A and B are shown apart, each in its own frame.
Chain A
Amino acid sequence: MEPTPALADRQQFDQVLGNLFLNARDASPLAHGAPAIRIDVRDTGIGMDDATRQQIFEPFFTTKGVGKGTGLGLAVVLGAIQQDHGMIEAHSALGRGTTFSVFWPLAEAVRQRCPGLPVLFVSGYTDDIIALHGFVREGVALLEKPFSPSVLARKVRGIVDARSARGA
């Protein structure tokens, strides 16, 4: 059976949907094709229904027993991710488990948005290999793992001082 038709002007219909889509895009922190790192945390546990899923990021909401959960874990997670301009999604099926997907914007993307921001790349690869892949450019600070606290402190001091010297 054909669905019931609606009464609408085609151009206005396009305008309405187009504007709603653009609003949705602008409300998405990682929109505009910003590249991101994605981390999925998946369990095959009890899962949750939609009503529960919609409340999980609220402070003090917990399904764990009294004295077992603080209700703060996911609120803290959401706060941290939002401060990094990232995003988190939760997908769940009752009885089948839950998947949390976290999206962090790439440091490269953040640098483009905030050119003055000091960035220190940390990697387990040697800088030779990274340079080979065209990732490290002139003026990009790189810290190779493993490193000691004092080496980290020196690197951070170095890029912060360099930034102050530029008058940023």
Chain B
Amino acid sequence: MFSRRQMIRPVAVQVNALIEDSLCHYRRLIGEGIRLEFAA
């Protein structure tokens, strides 16, 4: 069971950059009917 658990690897991340990279992905996720605005 424990072997199936994902390894968590916390690293130092630039949160703003991370969100910006994933914005397209998030927009697809919530669909076209909703506007997603990102204010860094």
User: How many pairs of residues, A versus B, come closer than 8 Å at their CB atoms?
Assistant: 63
Q: What is the interface size of chain B, counting residues whose CB is below 8 A from a CB of the partner?
A: 22
- Secondary structure dominating the interface of B: mixed
- Secondary structure dominating the interface of A: mixed
- Does B18 touch A at the CB level, under 8 Å? yes
Question: Cβ of A13 and Cβ of B13 under 8 Å apart?
Answer: yes
Question: Cβ of B34 and Cβ of A18 under 8 Å apart?
Answer: no
Interface size class for chain A? Answer: 20 to 34
Question: Cβ of A34 and Cβ of B11 under 8 Å apart?
Answer: no
Query: In the complex the two chains form, what is the Cα distance from A5 to B10 in whole Å?
Result: 12
Mark A residues whose CB is within 8 Å of B. Answer: 2-3, 5-14, 17-18, 21-22, 24-25, 28, 30-34
